[in-house]
Amino acid sequence: MAMRGLMHVSKLLPATARVRVSSFWSGVETGPPDAIFGLVEAHKKDPRPNKVSLAIGAYRDDQGKPWVLPTVRKAEQRIVDKNLDKEYAGIMGYESFCKEAYKLAFGEDDNFKNNSYVTTQTVSGTGALRLAGMFLNKFYPEAKTIYLPNPSWPNHNPVFKQSGLEVKSYRHCNFQNMTFDAAGCYDDLRSIPNKSMVLFHACAHNPTGIDLSLDHWAEVSKICKEKNHLVFVDMAYQGFATGDLEKDSAGLRLLAKDGHKLVLCQSFSKNMGLYGERCGAMTFLTESESEAKAVESQIKIIIRPLYSNPPITGARIATEILTSPDLYSEWLDELKAMAGRIFEMRGKLQQGLINEGSTRDWSFIHTQIGMFCYSGMNQEQVKRLQDEYGIYMTKDGRISMVSLSSNNIGYVAKSMHEVTK
């Protein structure tokens, strides 16, 4: 009865009033789908049985299945056996996790043990970047611009823009031969204003797979010192590039040894396969303990109204692995296995293209490193791969190497040859 009464009243309302009541969001325009997650959706809907998704950077085994690391399964079991509660972590997350994350990044060298610093647990790598962006926007008035390598992970741009920073770039990739544009990078670092904020990928540069050698890092460090730039390191792939934690953090450690009071963002998505657990960390190296305390207090003030405190499960898993000698040594082998499989796929893709008769120089597939291959294919070729062959990758021609397997690599090589000959 009441319902009927309501309908009756709404029919009596003038048309304009009715429209106003039911259209809060009429001014909202449909936005574009996310460059990567949009492709995942499109791939899901594609009915072709031989379709291949090479868009997202999430590790797959050689059967194309997501791989939960055995150490993660064991750590989970140990955590269950401890019968822990589900209380909130502190605003900065778990102290033990933060300590371990710092140690993992910087090693146990005395140089670093005695540093003053502040580390906070974050909502994975993306959350760390956003938090750092917000902190810098508030407390680094010297520069409102952050310089990213060109190209960079597509999400860097909106992360920093939405943190209130301006985003510009410096040269990273020599697009002619797909190598590091060292001269261009050095020039740009010298010509941007002093005290600029400059972001570097610690290893496994996304999307190019083109990393800096130690000599490059030394030069970059020198220039950034001369120019007094604030160095910002995004390390989303430690251990995932070469399979060796030390090698993958060598650039970061060089910068820290040179005295840069840098900002570091870490992710455990890839190296522990904790993608959906959202496990990461952000560290500021500081001049003194009192500075660290002040920075920490302000980080808390940003986090508290944002998400209050971070999720606990991923950090518990990571801490269990990092502090249990048996799990830790098993994890080192898992890292080697993941990096090794990617390396193998690189060789097979290059060989597959040669076998198809491609006369292009694909040698860079093997020299690039990490999760992605920056194939050099243009947008039209990428579109043809999607439309004609059901192979999905980002518009910039970036191939997620972890999605290649013995089952699909022949088909992918053949299709790539078809659109590039």
Residues within the interface to ligand PMP (CB under 6 A) = 57, 124-126, 153, 201, 206, 234, 236, 267, 269, 280
Closest CA to 318 of 263, 264, 277: 277
**Nearest to ligand PMP of 307, 411 (CB atom):** 307
Give the residue nearest to ligand PMP (CB): 125
Task: Determine the Cα–Cα distance for residues 129 and 211; give it in Å rounded to an integer.
Answer: 20
**Nearest to ligand PMP of 243, 352 (CB atom):** 243
- Residue 53: what are its φ and ψ, rounded to 5°? -105, 115
**Nearest to ligand PMP of 126, 249 (CB atom):** 126
In Å, how far are 97, 117, 234, 297 from 103, measured between CA atoms?
Answer: 10, 12, 16, 22
Minimum distance, C-beta of residue 319 to ligand PMP, in the bound complex (Å): 17
Task: Determine the Cα–Cα distance for residues 321 and 316; give it in Å rounded to an integer.
Answer: 9
**Nearest to ligand PMP of 59, 389 (CB atom):** 59
Task: Determine the Cα–Cα distance for residues 286 and 117; give it in Å rounded to an integer.
Answer: 5
For this structure, is 234 an active site residue? Answer: yes
Minimum distance, C-beta of residue 236 to ligand PMP, in the bound complex (Å): 4
DSSP string across 124-180: HHHHHHHHHHHHHHHH-TT-SEEEEEES--TTHHHHHHHTT-EEEEEE-EETTTTEE
**Nearest to ligand PMP of 274, 292 (CB atom):** 274
Minimum distance, C-beta of residue 155 to ligand PMP, in the bound complex (Å): 7
Question: Which of 181, 188, 211, 234 is flagged as catalytic?
Answer: 234
DSSP string across 60-100: B-TTS-B---HHHHHHHHHHHHHT---PPPBTTB-HHHHHH
Minimum distance, C-beta of residue 310 to ligand PMP, in the bound complex (Å): 12
| Burial label, 359 (beta-carbon count in 10 A; 0-12, 13-18, 19+) | exposed
Minimum distance, C-beta of residue 154 to ligand PMP, in the bound complex (Å): 9
Question: Which of 153, 217, 331, 362 is flagged as catalytic?
Answer: 153
Minimum distance, C-beta of residue 368 to ligand PMP, in the bound complex (Å): 14
- Residue 189: what are its φ and ψ, rounded to 5°? -65, -30
Task: Determine the Cα–Cα distance for residues 208 and 187; give it in Å rounded to an integer.
Answer: 20
**Nearest to ligand PMP of 153, 389 (CB atom):** 153
For this structure, is 65 an active site residue? Answer: no
DSSP conformation class of 35: T
What's the one-letter identity of residue 110? D
Question: Which of 270, 331, 348, 396 is flagged as catalytic?
Answer: 270
The structure tokens listed for 301 are 């003030």
Catalytic positions = 153, 234, 270
